[in-house]
Structure 1
Amino acid sequence: MRPLLALLAPLLLALPTAAQTPAKVDLSAVDARMQSIVARYRLDGASLWVSKNGQPVLTRHYGGYGPTTRIPIASASKWVSALVLARLVERGTLRWDSTVGEWWPTAPADKRAITLAQLFSHTSGLPGDESGCLGNPLTTLQACAGQILAGPMIAAPGSAFAYGGLSMQVAGAMAERATGRNWDALFDAEVRRPLELSATDYGFTSTAPGNVPMTNPRVPGGVRTTLDDYRRLMAMWQADGVIRDGAQTGQRYLAPATIRAMQRDLATGTAKVDVPDVPQSVDGWGYGFGFWLLPTGRAGGPMLESSPGAFGFQGWVDGTAGIAGVFMVQDTNARMAPEAAALQSELVRLLDPPRFTQSAGAATHTAPSSGPQAGRGRLRSQAK
């Protein structure tokens, strides 16, 4: 398998341009690629949405997928859950530097200094793990958070990056304590209703219609959604916090300052203890508030932001190329991440030819023989 960086190279090395959305673009190559993915991996189906400079250019379904297809998206949930917390921070209910000790005065002493930002950037010092009470329907989010806080630390807060869901589960419970409302009510008020997400909940593997409330929602990975719902999130993010669909089109959802805060790379300077192998092959990766940050090649410029899940689902926003997308599949990220990367490069070639030509011709950056953190910790085969 080719290293992910090699597949991403045309996209990551792209230079900025003021090009607007092409009036007519032949997207047959994208169709062929998506159909090939469905056939080669014998998928039930797939869906794809793409926007260029805020204008939708493609919404298509393949195989057995259609507009109402709803699937679990695993770690792509992290970006969704991050929006709940960001809105509470904007309102002043929480702060990025709110600590565990403020809301759990009886928490073990080694946990009390952990901040909300650290909890949602894998830098809390809690283990990078997905086991224990996560997703256990027989308990509550509060009880699960208490169990996690009673467990071990692997590092001092802010000193290590360990990818996992335990810390984010605690963040969700912190939001419940700060508001006196359960997570489902918070998600409904802060995300579902303002963005008009008609088919998104934390039902994960449930096949029940409508919204399925969970007493212990899997905050970092329990969302199920549709292409139309998730693309509303990506369109809002691409518009720098302005809603692009529905009755509230044109209304501000998040302040630019809030988005800038979420885009801070909190992984920089930490010991890389537990990192999935996908970002390992991209030199200069970082992690924001619920999503990965990948370099685009423009110093100080926008990053490619993405939050791929264990089943291959991925939403992304490339601030340099002006492209946002949702790649909807249900397989494994180990197989789908290279496919998504190749698709992203193809879209840059088609929708931003000047950028693609310049970056492809530069040929000054090659894939490293090992990731930036090789030998510095345990790797995972896929995002959870």
Structure 2
Amino acid sequence: MRPLLAFLAPLLLALPTAARSPAKTDFSAIDARMQSLVARYRLDGASLWVSHNGQPVLIRYYGGYSEATRIPIASASKWVSALVLARLVERGTLRWDSTVGEWWPTAPADKRAITLAQLFSHTSGLPGDESGCIANALTTLQACAGQILAGPMIAAPGSTFAYGGLSMQVAGAMAERATGLGWDTLFARELTTPLALTATEFGLNSSAPGIVTLPNPRIAGGVRSTLSDYRKLMAMWQADGIIREGPNAGQRYLAVSTIRAMQRDHAAGTAKVDVPNVPQSIGNWGYGFGYWLLPTTRAGAPVVESSPGAFGFQGWVDGAAGIAGVFMVQDTNARMAPEAAAVQADLARLLDPPRFTQSAGAAMNPPPPPRQAVRGRPLSQAK
């Protein structure tokens, strides 16, 4: 973090950058809220992108952030990695019901029935934590998956929701086995190339420029990205699978049927044994493949799809309201989740006033998460 004077200088001397905001919409309250959180939490900066009904209406950079700023996005990586797997499912290389046993015939018997869908919805029965090899840059993804599969189960596959990165590490290794390609190669082929992402990779803790490749990428939490890149993912999702920017604009990236499969609540009917505090404090949440389904009470808007990371970064799509966005900060999600929710509520008031109600504001702007929750842990610990 920079000294207080250093980060306040650009905040005081420069207006935030804007792009294509409709004249009829006054975003000054959004600017004030974002400038305030940068100052109050002494952040290096922040960025915000918003699309309404498929059209970008707001791009802002605050403090020291610019279009080139790239930061670790932690668990917002889950949605990113899920897209790679979805493309492999569409190719027929994998199925959502592909099992560990198909690709690891020597895996322990209690792991062989775990499916790809369960691995990417935290319902595999593997422990919901971030321990062991997933943060070890000196091993390989295949070796790490082998260690995880040799470890304990906490429940039968499909019976329990336990949030963590172990199961997704196994899913990434399954993709490698199914294709014969390394994860970084798959990531480029299935995601960064078709969507024209230029600064998104798995160099989470690296400060090196360019694209960093690792033998053991952290599938559930290792991505670095920029506002310019991550907004392309949210724009594609908002457009129901159609690419909105870059040389492939207008082409279909994912079939609608694939997106619908990813949007189902795959945690429904499971015992919730390990849940981060933020969704736990909201209640009535669900989980798709790689992201949360969070409730609202606005008419016609039952959920907001969101994938917040441990450092506060998150992308979200509110399909019924026609709003998609990226909230880019680097701090802790325990502090930033209420801030992001408040920004989302303000945007809904501005852009979707007919359906926004006072009760909706409460749903989208929950109280700060408790310091400690029964059988849960702060989302700030979830990478």
* TM-score, normalised via structure 2 length: 0.90
* Partner of residue 380, structure 1: 378
* 1:135 Cα deviation after fit: 2.4
Is 1:265 aligned with 2:265? yes
Which residue identity is paired with 2:56?
A: P
Contact 2:345–2:361 at 8 Å: present in 1 too?
no
Relative distance call for 1:368 and 1:223 in structure 2 (3 A) is closer
1:360 equivalent to 2:358? Answer yes
Task: Show CA shifts across 1:97-130 (max 9, x none).
Answer: 0000000000000000000000000000000010
Distance in 2 of aligned mates of 1:99 and 1:237: 27
Report how far residue 278 of structure 1 moved: 0.3
Q: Distance in 1 between matches of 2:360 and 2:88?
A: 44
Matches within 5 A, 1:1-384: 24-297=24-297, 303-356=303-356, 359-360=357-358, 377-382=375-380, 383-384=382-383
Q: Is the 8 A contact 2:125 2:155 kept in 1?
A: yes
Q: 1:361 to 1:171 in 2, by over 3 A?
A: closer
Task: Confirm or deny: 8 A CA contact 1:48 1:227 kept in the other structure.
Answer: yes
Q: Is the 8 A contact 2:276 2:378 kept in 1?
A: yes
CA positional deviation for 1:295: 2.1
What do the CA deviations read for 1:29-67 (whole angstroms, capped 9, x no partner)?
000000001000000000000000110000110000000
RMSD: 2.3
The one-letter code matched in structure 1 to 2:312 is: G
Equivalent AA in structure 2 for residue 379 of structure 1: R
2:327 is paired with a residue whose SS is strand
Q: Which residue type is aligned with residue 213 of structure 2? A: P
The alignment partner of 1:217 has SS state of: coil
Task: Measure the CA separation in 2 of the matches of 1:75 and 1:52.
Answer: 25
Offset of residue 351 of structure 1: 1.0
Q: By how many angstroms is 1:320 displaced?
A: 1.6
Q: Is the CA contact 2:296–2:360 (under 8 Å) kept in the aligned structure 1?
A: no
Going from structure 1 to structure 2, the CA distance change for 1:364 and 1:54 (only over 3 Å counts) comes to: closer
1:199-251 deviation digits (Å, cap 9, x = unpaired) = 00001111111111110000000000000000000000000000000111100
Assess if the C-alpha contact under 8 Å between 1:302 and 1:319 holds in 2: no
- The 3 A distance-change label for structure 1 pair 368 and 327 is closer
Residue identity in the other structure for 2:82: A
Question: Are 1:127 and 1:166, in contact at CA under 8 Å, matched by a contact in 2?
Answer: yes
Greater relative contact order (Cα < 8 A, sep 6+): 1
> 2:176, 2:288 → 1: CA distance?
22
In structure 2, distance between residues paired with 1:90 and 1:362: 36
Q: Tell me, which stretches of 5 or more residues in structure 1 are unaligned? A: 1-20
Three-state SS of the structure 2 residue aligned to 1:154 is: coil
Q: Which amino acid aligns with 2:35?
A: Q
Instruction: Give the whole-Å Cα distance in 2 for the aligned partners of 1:284 and 1:51.
Output: 26
Query: Using the alignment, how far apart are the partners of 1:82 and 1:287 within structure 2?
Result: 12
SS class of match (2:46): strand
Looking at structure 2, the residues matched to 361 and 169 of structure 1 have their Cα atoms a distance apart, in angstroms, of 39
Identity among equivalent positions (%) equals 77
Aligned amino acid, residue 206 of structure 1: S
Contact 1:22 1:351 in 2 (8 A): no
Shift of the 34–134 alpha-carbon distance from structure 1 to 2, 3 Å rule, reads same
Partners of 2:207 and 2:352 in 1: how far apart? 39
Superposed displacement of residue 297, structure 1: 3.2
Q: Secondary structure at the match of 2:61?
A: strand
Cα distance in 2 between the residues matched to 1:221 and 1:365: 27
1:201 counterpart letter in structure 2 = E
Deviation track 1:128-187 (CA, whole Å, cap 9, x = no partner) reads 010100121110000000000000000000000000000000000000000000000000
Give the distance between the partners of 1:53 and 1:22, measured in 2 at CA: 12
In structure 1, what is the Cα distance between the partners aligned to 2:195 and 2:51?
Answer: 17
Change (3 A) 1:366 1:323: closer
Between the aligned partners of 1:351 and 1:367, the Cα distance in structure 2 is: 16
Give the superposition deviation at 1:264. 1.1
Deviation at 1:365, TM superposition (A): 8.1
Q: 1:298 to 1:106 in 2, by over 3 A?
A: farther
- The TM-score, its normalising length taken from structure 1, stands at 0.89
In structure 2, stretches of 5+ residues that fail to align are: 1-20
C-alpha separation between the residues in 2 aligned to 1:293 and 1:235?
18
The letter of the residue matching 1:73 is I
